[in-house]
Amino acid sequence: MSLEKMRNIGIMAHIDAGKTTTTERILYYTGKIHKIGEIDDGQATMDWMAQEQERGITICSAATTTYWKDYQINIIDTPGHVDFTAEVERSLRVLDGAVAVICAVDGVQPQTETVWKQADEFKVPRIAFMNKMDRIGADFFGSMEDVHNKFGIDCLALQIPIGEGPDFEGVIDLLKMKEIRWDAESEGEKFTESDIDSSRLDKANEWREKLIDMVASSDDKLAEIYLEGGEISVEQLKAAIRSGTINRAFVPFVMGSARHNQGVQPLIDAVVDYLPSPVDIPPAKGMRIKKDSEEEIEIPCKDSGMPVGLVFKIQYDREMGSLCYVRMYSGKINAGTQVLNVGKKKRERVNRILRMHADKSEAMDSVSAGDIAVFIGLKLAQTGDTLGSEGLPVILESVKFPEPVISVAIEPESLSERDKMNETLEILSKEDPTFTHHEDSETGQLIISGMGELHLDVLVTRMKDDFGVKCRVGAPQVTYREAVTAEATAKEEFSKVLAGKENTAGVTVKVSQREQGSGNDYIFTASRKDVPDEIIESIEQSIRSSLDSGIQYGYPCTDTMVEVTAIDYNETTSTPFAFASCAAAAFDKACHDAAPQLFEPVMNVEISCPKEFVGEAMSQVTQRGGMVMGQDSKASGELVHAQAPMAKMFGFSTNLRSATQGRASFTMEFSHFQLKPDGLAGAW
């Protein structure tokens, strides 16, 4: 398969907009599956986890490969729920294009904004599928306008609807200028094309004119033909739309109703016609590791290059162990060969390579640049690791994950369960980087942390059902953060005789406050002359683990800059152990002198409710110390935007339901950490 004929795409959207249903239809029409599974029946192919089928939501991104008109399409179906935002984040990092599924009734919803921003961050070209066109209140043009207003992008309608809501019959293709209707008896597999009815011709011509106008404004060659009044062919239009989509000049829109098998084939055509292949996007950038320095290089996507791949997801399988999902950026890796984990400087054997289809798989002999596959046999690999070779030791930019904001205490039902529980926690935190666990130094309790109540609920249920761990879970608690609010420098010296050998070290550390939301950073500006790498590495490891351990209360640090400005190294007596101890002591001393404070997580809250209950919904937020930020009117009701401290939001859904007679719903996602007013940590 040539690289030009490959597409790596993700399906992204707000929860319940119809991502998994759309993916299911794509697999059916491309012949990958022979029966359409419905989410409502718990039968969807891509929702293969037992919990996904029970809850009717996507929890982990599932990968599959299918074929359409000689094109290979690697699809990743991502979750829509904010608690699983890390799954979306890591999928978008390795995708070349995306399909944004938008509900024709509700338009842009809160989580649509989140995934859209994530796609912008990774510069992912996208097309939009306006779903649920047959639902009461569907408004294609209004929802497209909503996308234009919210994201400031040009929306390119490739189709216009024939009727909307219950009157939705089909679409008018503005490129071919034909009406398309789908046959319900063949589950939408067959469709008919006919000439445009005279009553709709004026509107079709008007929108075709808009399409050509927008495309020509981003393509000089087309603009010339257009201005001279020449005839523009469908092929010329497609080529210009493709280049405009890849350059993110506009977003093409198609539409349909995935649930009722309408509009899916033109969507698959749009994927192969307009979304980029691995060679259409700029080459990946990575840091080439040299003995004393690093340099940024580009990695062209070609089979003949040195092998470079990124591990973007780890999944545990009871029989096969760790499944490492890898996106290849260059070269080729064969099954049974060894690869270098560049960051860890360790070689590992790739025992087998698999092509995944949700939870099923087929073996492959090798995987080449541009493709996505699963490696089996890598024991050390973690999400974000780069696989390569000594010939090109390059590190690709890793995936950054948000900080966990909610915690619960967990304990095994018996001592014999403790080892099993610890083992399971290791597996789950390797799979999901936003899930962490640690032992509370004061109470000795084991604390697990995640992105939200649903996130932790899903993980605890997996521990009990999938891994058979018998455990008890405490009430949810907020995960606070510590940060310095001033600048301070501290110097520490270490000198101890251990096992008859003298160990010495000296480290000077400067700490300062970073901008809110920018996270921690570490730099080493001391002289490296004649200092071995293992000494510098041990200082960095010690500082990073100190940042995780906190300053006063044991909560991880946030928005803190740590700089090692000087070290005292003695060739005969200095050891990595001495430097690790010394760096930790210098960090503690500097932080205590830099006015450390406690910070609490603040959440973005989006409440959807009928107009008559807006007042009650707002007062529920303000009673909990929240602030109302704004309000939007939608076809389905009012949308209230607010921010509130996480600590006050437990039990909010029950209160909101009772205050609005069960008519309101809300979504909540982490926004930022802010200074806790009373400055005291809540005790466990």
Window from 74-78, 576-580, 612-616 with minimum mean pLDDT:
74-78
What does the pLDDT read at residue 194?
92
What does the pLDDT read at residue 172?
93
Which residues, 6 or more positions from 656, have their beta carbon under 8 angstroms from its beta carbon? Answer: 607, 617, 620, 664, 666
- Given a contact cutoff of 8 angstroms between Cβ atoms, the answer to whether 584 and 546 are in contact is yes
Domain positions in the chain are: 3-195+250-274, 284-396, 406-479, 486-594, 599-675
What does the pLDDT read at residue 32?
65
Q: What is the mean pLDDT of residues 162-184?
A: 90
What does the pLDDT read at residue 80?
47
DSSP, residue by residue, 567-588: EE--TTTB-HHHHHHHHHHHHH
What does the pLDDT read at residue 487?
94
Q: Is the pLDDT of residue 608 over 50?
A: yes
Band of pLDDT at residue 202, cut at 50, 70 and 90? very high
Give the closest residue to 424 by CA, choosing from 388, 476, 462: 462
Q: Is the pLDDT of residue 60 over 50?
A: no
What does the pLDDT read at residue 679?
54
Window from 330-334, 469-473, 664-668, 670-674 with minimum mean pLDDT:
664-668
What does the pLDDT read at residue 49?
44
Window from 226-235, 254-263, 338-347 with minimum mean pLDDT:
226-235
Band of pLDDT at residue 190, cut at 50, 70 and 90? confident
3-state secondary structure of 668: strand
Per residue in 371-397, pLDDT tens?
888 898 888 888 788 898 888 788 887
Q: Is the pLDDT of residue 405 over 80?
A: no
Q: What is the mean pLDDT of residues 504-531?
A: 90
Band of pLDDT at residue 203, cut at 50, 70 and 90? very high
Higher per-residue confidence, 585 vs 668: 585
Q: What sign does the dihedral 564-567-572-577 (CA atoms) show?
A: negative
What does the pLDDT read at residue 291?
63
Cα–Cα distance for residue pair 98/119, rounded to 1 Å: 8
What does the pLDDT read at residue 177?
92
Per residue in 115-158, pLDDT tens?
888 788 888 999 999 999 998 888 999 999 999 988 889 999 99
Chain mean pLDDT for the chain = 83
Per residue in 543-592, pLDDT tens?
999 998 889 888 889 899 999 999 999 888 889 999 999 999 999 999 99
Higher per-residue confidence, 127 vs 293: 127
User: What tokens does 231 get?
Assistant: 């005839």
Residue type, 668: M
What does the pLDDT read at residue 650?
80
What does the pLDDT read at residue 682?
43
For the chain, what percent of residues have pLDDT higher than 90?
26
Higher per-residue confidence, 499 vs 71: 71
What does the pLDDT read at residue 566?
92
Highest mean pLDDT (candidates 197-206, 547-556, 666-675): 197-206
How many other CB atoms are found less than 10 A from the CB of residue 291? 5
What does the pLDDT read at residue 41?
44
Q: Is the pLDDT of residue 55 over 50?
A: no
**Main-chain dihedrals φ then ψ at residue 615, nearest 5 degrees:** -60, -45
Q: Is the pLDDT of residue 330 over 70?
A: yes
What does the pLDDT read at residue 324?
86
b/e sequence 483-497, b meaning 16+ C-beta within 10 Å: bbeeebbbebebeee
37 CB burial (10 A radius; 0-12, 13-18, 19+) = buried
Window from 15-24, 242-251, 409-418 with minimum mean pLDDT:
15-24
Q: How far is CA 587 from the centre of its chain?
A: 33
Q: Is the pLDDT of residue 1 over 70?
A: no
Q: What is the mean pLDDT of residues 586-615?
A: 90
Taking each helix axis as running N to C, give the angle between helix 85-94 and helix 110-121, from 0 to 180 degrees, rounded to the nearest 10: 30
- Given a contact cutoff of 8 angstroms between Cβ atoms, the answer to whether 355 and 380 are in contact is no
What does the pLDDT read at residue 474?
83
What does the pLDDT read at residue 456?
83
Q: Is the pLDDT of residue 52 over 90?
A: no
Q: Is the pLDDT of residue 399 over 80?
A: no
264 CB burial (10 A radius; 0-12, 13-18, 19+) = buried
What does the pLDDT read at residue 57?
42
- Which of the listed CATH numbers 3.40.50.300, 3.40.50.2000, 3.40.50.2020, 3.40.1400.10 matches domain 3-195+250-274? 3.40.50.300
Identical topology for domains 3-195+250-274 and 406-479: no
Higher per-residue confidence, 477 vs 183: 183
CATH T-level assignment (fold) for domain 486-594? Ribosomal Protein S5; domain 2 (3.30.230)
- Asked: is 284-396 a CATH 3.30.360.10 domain? The reply is no
pTM: 0.70
What does the pLDDT read at residue 500?
84
Secondary element (H or E) of residue 266:
helix 264-274
Window from 50-59, 201-210, 238-247, 622-631 with minimum mean pLDDT:
50-59
CATH T-level assignment (fold) for domain 599-675? Alpha-Beta Plaits (3.30.70)
Q: Is the pLDDT of residue 42 over 70?
A: no
Cα–Cα distance for residue pair 414/425, rounded to 1 Å: 16
CATH T-level assignment (fold) for domain 406-479? Alpha-Beta Plaits (3.30.70)
Per residue in 244-284, pLDDT tens?
999 999 999 999 998 888 999 999 999 999 999 988 888 88
What does the pLDDT read at residue 48?
38
What does the pLDDT read at residue 33?
60
